[in-house]
Structure 1
Amino acid sequence: MSEMFAGGTARLLVGNDGEEPLELTVEPWADIHRIPPKQTCVVVTHSPTGDGSWSGTLRGDEPFQVDHRPDSVTVWANGECFHLSDREGNAIDAADWHCPARNPAT
């Protein structure tokens, strides 16, 4: 997946080293996915501003906040959209919450 986006793009690897599926919730969309054991997915979000800055959650200018529990992880993505991929960039979820592809020259 080699799409270009204006502003900033942030990627967060979320791995499951356990023996059971790990629940991944991406907020504020309340989108729930399961990461199989010994697998990793990448949460990708794009800055809502042209200069690539982030609104932040607990701290300013942070693209992600992560909350972890024994059987689940919640990722707060501070971009205007998100999508999931594997480490090679292959889409995991076809519904990308309408992340806009933009001309790299803009």
Structure 2
Amino acid sequence: MARVVDETVARLPIHNHGSELLEVVLEPYGRDYHLRSDETLIVHTAGTTRESEPFGVDFHPDFIQVHFNGAVGWVTGPDGNELDCGHQRP
């Protein structure tokens, strides 16, 4: 089992500057969220197991994949309200 090195909450804001719908996939859960043009979501994690590396981000042609390196991960809107898996899925 990995040792928790940081109990603080890390945040990763993601903003869609494009004109098309942007899919964000949260791993290892496989949860998907979709951002319309000019929208933002925030990925959170706590209990980081890798010092100074709370997130890994992979860019794919059709989506962004965010891996959280903490004990838990969740996604909110800019207002702080948690978003459900499938948020704005077409």
TM-based fold match above 0.5: yes
Q: Percent identity?
A: 32
Gaps of 5+ in 2: 1-5, 86-90
Q: TM-score, normalised by structure 2?
A: 0.77
- Where do 5+ consecutive residues of structure 1 fail to align? 1-5, 48-53, 95-106
Aligned length: 80
Higher strand residue share: 2
TM-score norm. by structure 1 comes to 0.67
How far apart, CA to CA, are the structure 2 residues paired with 1:55 and 1:46? 9
Q: Does 1:24 align with 2:15?
A: no
What are the superposed Cα offsets for residues 58-93 of structure 1, whole Å, 9 maximum, x if unpaired? Answer: xx5410000112431000001111111111212222
Which one has a bigger Cα radius of gyration?
1
Runs of 4+, deviation exceeding 3 Å: none
Instruction: Give the alignment's Cα RMSD to 1 decimal.
Output: 1.9
1:63 aligns with one of 48, 54, 58: 54
Identify the residue that residue 46 of structure 2 maps to in structure 1: 46
